[in-house]
Structure 1
Amino acid sequence: MHAKQFFGITVLDKNVKAVGKVEDIDIDTETGDVTSLIISLNKGLFSNDAIEVEFENIDTIGDYILLDTEIVKEEEVEEEDEEPEKVTVEVEEE
């Protein structure tokens, strides 16, 4: 696979949840090996948040890149921290 073929590939975490697309790659100039991928996160239209994923955290490369780790977005962490809303349900007896 050529380096330019990495750009734009959708990246999935270990739960097969789309986390973003490959934006850039980091290459060791001495060996020519890919050391990490820079992934732009799926956050919003004008968001430019990105993370760096080490090459050893990549499980499979093909039509998608599958990671062997889970990527948790900040907004998901905030939602999990919130207490669930309590709901009361009334049941009519017949």
Structure 2
Amino acid sequence: MLVSEFLGKKVLDKNAIEVGKVSDMDIDLENGMINSVIISKGELALRPQTFIVNIDEIQKVGDYVIIDIAVEGVSETPGEETTKLSLGKEE
């Protein structure tokens, strides 16, 4: 799969609820590995919201990117533009 095919793909959570679209990736250049994927939500919103999802939390990539996280309880962190999603890990 080409990066251009991956960027812009719709992202669904584990409950098949649309989360947003893939907008960027964090790549480890030394190892040639993708560390995380950045998902944007609300393209037309006044304050677009972004989420960082670790690569091991991506369940499947096909017509959609499916993540192994339920995002219904996740909200934007006040004062920050990016929220990190994780599998129930408290940080």
Aligned length: 75
Larger-gyration structure (1/2): 1
More helix by share: 1
Alignment RMSD: 1.9
After the TM superposition, which residues 1-94 of structure 1 pair with which residues of structure 2 at under 5 Å, given as runs? 1-42=1-42, 45-72=45-72, 73-74=74-75
Gaps of 5+ in 1: 76-94
Shift of 1:8: 0.6
Identity %: 39
Over residues 5-25 of structure 1, what are the superposed CA-to-partner deviations in whole Å (9 max), with x where a residue is unaligned?
Answer: 211100000000001000101
CA separation in 2, counterparts of 1:53 and 1:30?
A: 20
User: TM-score, with normalisation over the residues of structure 1?
Assistant: 0.71
SS class of match (2:4):
helix
Q: Could you tell me which residue of structure 1 aligns to residue 82 of structure 2?
A: none
